[in-house]
Amino acid sequence: MQLTHLDEKNHPTMVDVSQKEQTTREAVASGVIRVSSEAYKAVKENSAKKGPVLQTAVIASIMGAKETSRLIPMCHPLLLSSIKTDIEELEESCAFKLWVKVKLNGQTGVEMEAMMGVSVGLLTIYDMLKAIDKGMVIENIQLESKMGGKNGDFRR
Amino acid sequence: MQLTHLDEKNHPTMVDVSQKEQTTREAVASGVIRVSSEAYKAVKENSAKKGPVLQTAVIASIMGAKETSRLIPMCHPLLLSSIKTDIEELEESCAFKLWVKVKLNGQTGVEMEAMMGVSVGLLTIYDMLKAIDKGMVIENIQLESKMGGKNGDFRR
Amino acid sequence: MQLTHLDEKNHPTMVDVSQKEQTTREAVASGVIRVSSEAYKAVKENSAKKGPVLQTAVIASIMGAKETSRLIPMCHPLLLSSIKTDIEELEESCAFKLWVKVKLNGQTGVEMEAMMGVSVGLLTIYDMLKAIDKGMVIENIQLESKMGGKNGDFRR
Amino acid sequence: MQLTHLDEKNHPTMVDVSQKEQTTREAVASGVIRVSSEAYKAVKENSAKKGPVLQTAVIASIMGAKETSRLIPMCHPLLLSSIKTDIEELEESCAFKLWVKVKLNGQTGVEMEAMMGVSVGLLTIYDMLKAIDKGMVIENIQLESKMGGKNGDFRR
Amino acid sequence: MQLTHLDEKNHPTMVDVSQKEQTTREAVASGVIRVSSEAYKAVKENSAKKGPVLQTAVIASIMGAKETSRLIPMCHPLLLSSIKTDIEELEESCAFKLWVKVKLNGQTGVEMEAMMGVSVGLLTIYDMLKAIDKGMVIENIQLESKMGGKNGDFRR
Amino acid sequence: MQLTHLDEKNHPTMVDVSQKEQTTREAVASGVIRVSSEAYKAVKENSAKKGPVLQTAVIASIMGAKETSRLIPMCHPLLLSSIKTDIEELEESCAFKLWVKVKLNGQTGVEMEAMMGVSVGLLTIYDMLKAIDKGMVIENIQLESKMGGKNGDFRR
């Protein structure tokens, strides 16, 4: 088993993708933040008016996805062609589930961009609610699906 | 209940901390990544030599914590005075638990910096292992403790 | 007349503020974007629901203000303690006026941060409406007031 | 009328350009800063020697244009192939007019990059002259022309 | 002789590469840091265990190379497809030589990215050893070779 | 000998400076770029007019110094209070020597900021001259002096 980011001297390396095919690639990731019922209500009542907690999270999520190659040391800079988000309100469990879908025409996948978008979006929800509840937990950040590239598709 | 980041017109706002006391503040956050046994082994065998997966994660974690105010829209820029990390190897569950502790002498807390450090570190582990296992899940990113500031300490 | 950013060899310089007093400083800037009636209506009808054009602008404005020292070559990095925005809807002239107020306890003023916040916020409105109207004009970006610091206050 | 940056739940989105044609695109924007006669003279006398106010503005303008996708939330990262600037000295009105032309071979336009370049350049002039004149006004930031892309050309 | 970055008014400009051919380009740069024998030993004894000084330098080098277009004013943003490093331990002269190789399929060369990677990597070694030795010297940062592009190859 | 950036598990760490005294600190670094006589002449003839190669380098140097904590993994974010540069023209050896002096009131030294400023400035000269000469060498980046802090002053 060879870790693809490690060269023969065991130094990290940004792997060579120059020979990989330029194809349409897509990745979807998701994650959840569980909050107190008080915090959940605060978001809901607010979003009944103008919803800025979730709006702010969506914007942070998109901007965060664009920063991936600057934050994850071995990620390639990429020309993302689309970033879309969705937020599910899981009322019974007082949670929000954030989905991020990223598209690219390029030589490497966009899993990390989708995962980063989810992470930054959920952290933003945490930030905007932490005056009410510091015990919130971010859970299940995971890749949902991946299309394109020679290694085949992935679906959880 | 007033969400502290929302002003009276319901626009997000970077709240005024200018009257808050300058004190020593500290926050500890943690999070876990569950990986396949194959991926776990790859890290371990590697770290038996030079361990660059976890080293890279630690470095990304520290650098990511420093980027918090640029990624989380309403966070204040802060002069962090210390960032430390620890990684627990949870062999039985094939998981790594990353701890990040951040310190500051300043006017607002460093919870977000610790949470961001954990997130970026775990995403880096994901990135460096995703050639082996795309199904890894990031879990339980949470604040462990917080000290300093007028709202009192927090301990999970 | 000596331009304060130029040293004796006429090279730009980041002027020395180390001897300046640490005081509370505040700056307010404003600016206007004039749009077509069609674009104006699009924002209004939308903001009657969830208003994301202006919400996005407000968030971009705050995040942009935090980037000032990285964009304006001779600006000092600053620990901003508050950023607030307001948007006036100038219905008769089909325009939006964005106000940004920035606060700091520090050794130099925050005029540039307020001006940058206004600029990035207005550009964001332009971006989100440009599919409807490319002829929009950004106008009258200006300092409204400034408080604190040894040179005295400024009020337009 | 559908705002192209808003998805069906009214969340902002980075629109999908993956099906758009890869063409040569160009955008020119301009803007003006009106300054006091004293400030104008300071620039001129200086630029008679080495001109660093305007040189600094030009450099900031080019660097700022490259930051567009990080500052404007829904902008795509782009591989700009050229950025050129020009400064007109409007002696009668004590003003400087900054032009920025941006080129790209890509799938979406570069209007925002040209507008951002103008804004950051003018703000830099403000910064370097604000010790002399705090009342300067930035005006008429606008798109002058746009070429390429399926929506046709634009000329003011 | 015309400096390619200067336009006719002698303002810097990001030169137009839109007509240049899209080819595979590669650049290799190197540089050296000379340290005290005490500092050299500290790295070696450490790298006998887990080597984090050099690991940290390698990671910083790769991340720094990705920042080139944000740091060097007239550099184009580029989609780097590979970044590899190597560190030679020059035991007799108590020095480390860092090599960085960058690859791109694109319209302009990657010399600056390789040079920037070397610089940031060596500065990181300096940072991590400066508690032991402040007199270390960084030397001979230079282009080793360059391939691709119409101007032909370069080999030192 | 304990490397101060390494914790007990040999992970890098951003060392705790929260107990260090807040003092005035200053660091001066320098470095040299040796160029061909043709390149040297190009700069000189140009700087006889408006000198933009060296002006661009000076601006890049100052902006680069401000980026230090984002590029060097274990560096603390700092509120630099002054950055000044000087360029010596070493006509006999066809070289330019860049000096950068950084000041801070804070808890840790600014050596890295001065060294980074020198590096980015010299790389900018390389970039702007590389169409004429690819063989230029950057040499002798070193700390010249350091004042403030409990470890005493340093002078080369």
pLDDT in tens, D67-93: 999 999 999 999 999 999 999 999 999
Nearest to C14 by CA among F62, E156, F10, E56: F62
Candidates C8, C14, C70: best to mutate against F (most CBs of F within 10 A) is C14
Q: What is the dihedral of CA B139, B39, B131, B88, to 10 degrees?
A: 50
pLDDT in tens, B113-148: 999 999 999 999 999 999 889 999 999 999 999 999
Candidates B6, B10, B13: best to mutate against C (most CBs of C within 10 A) is B13
Nearest to C102 by CA among C152, C67, C56: C67
Q: Give the Cα separation of D38 and D131 in Å (integer).
A: 11
**Coil, helix or strand for D109?**
coil
Look at residue C53 and tell me whether its pLDDT is greater than 50: yes
Measured between CA atoms, the residue of chain F closest to residue C75 is F63
Instruction: Answer for the pair B119, B44: CB distance below 8 angstroms, yes or no.
Output: no
Question: Are D140 and C137 inside 8 Å of each other by CB?
Answer: yes
Q: Give the Cα separation of A129 and A43 in Å (integer).
A: 8
pLDDT in tens, A32-71: 999 999 999 989 887 544 348 999 999 999 999 999 999 9
Find tokens 């371990």 and name the residue. Answer: B44
D11, D12, D77 member nearest A66 (Cβ):
D77
The predicted structure's pLDDT at residue C73:
96
pLDDT category, B111, cuts 50, 70, 90? Answer: very high
pLDDT category, B153, cuts 50, 70, 90? Answer: very high
Average pLDDT over residues F120-145: 96
Average pLDDT over residues F127-137: 93
Query: CA of F110, closest CA in chain E: separation in Å?
Result: 11
A51, A56, A60 member nearest C50 (Cβ):
A51
Question: Are F111 and E129 inside 8 Å of each other by CB?
Answer: no
**Coil, helix or strand for A151?**
coil
Please provide the average confidence, as pLDDT, over all residues in chain A: 91
Query: CA of E10, closest CA in chain A: separation in Å?
Result: 32
Q: Does the beta carbon of A127 lie under 8 angstroms from any beta carbon of chain C?
A: no
Beta-carbon contacts of B54 under 8 Å, excluding residues fewer than 6 positions away, are B43, B47, B87, B96, B125, F11
pLDDT in tens, F68-118: 999 999 999 999 999 999 999 999 999 999 999 999 999 999 999 999 999
pLDDT category, A1, cuts 50, 70, 90? Answer: low
Look at residue C104 and tell me whether its pLDDT is greater than 60: yes
A3, A135, A156 member nearest B46 (Cβ):
A3
Average pLDDT over residues C81-94: 95
Least confident interval from C17-21, C145-149, D99-103, F49-53: F49-53
This prediction has a pTM of 0.96
Nearest to C109 by CA among C135, C76, C71: C76
Greater pLDDT, E154 or C51? E154
Q: Give the Cα separation of B22 and D58 in Å (integer).
A: 40
pLDDT category, E1, cuts 50, 70, 90? Answer: low
The predicted structure's pLDDT at residue B2:
58
Please provide the average confidence, as pLDDT, over all residues in chain E: 91
Measured between CA atoms, the residue of chain C closest to residue D146 is C134
Look at residue F50 and tell me whether its pLDDT is greater than 80: no
Instruction: Answer for the pair A136, B141: CB distance below 8 angstroms, yes or no.
Output: no
Measured between CA atoms, the residue of chain C closest to residue F100 is C13
Beta-carbon contacts of D154 under 8 Å, excluding residues fewer than 6 positions away, are C134, D143, D145, D146
Q: Does the beta carbon of E154 lie under 8 angstroms from any beta carbon of chain F?
A: yes
pLDDT in tens, A79-97: 999 999 999 999 999 999 9
Question: Are C15 and F67 inside 8 Å of each other by CB?
Answer: no
pLDDT category, C49, cuts 50, 70, 90? Answer: very low
Which positions 30-49 of E are in contact with F (Cβ < 8 Å)?
31, 38, 41-42, 46, 49
Q: Does the beta carbon of A63 lie under 8 angstroms from any beta carbon of chain C?
A: yes
Greater pLDDT, C35 or C151? C35
Phi, psi (degrees; rounded to nearest 5) at A94: 50, 55
- Interface size between C and F, measured as CB pairs under 8 A: 56
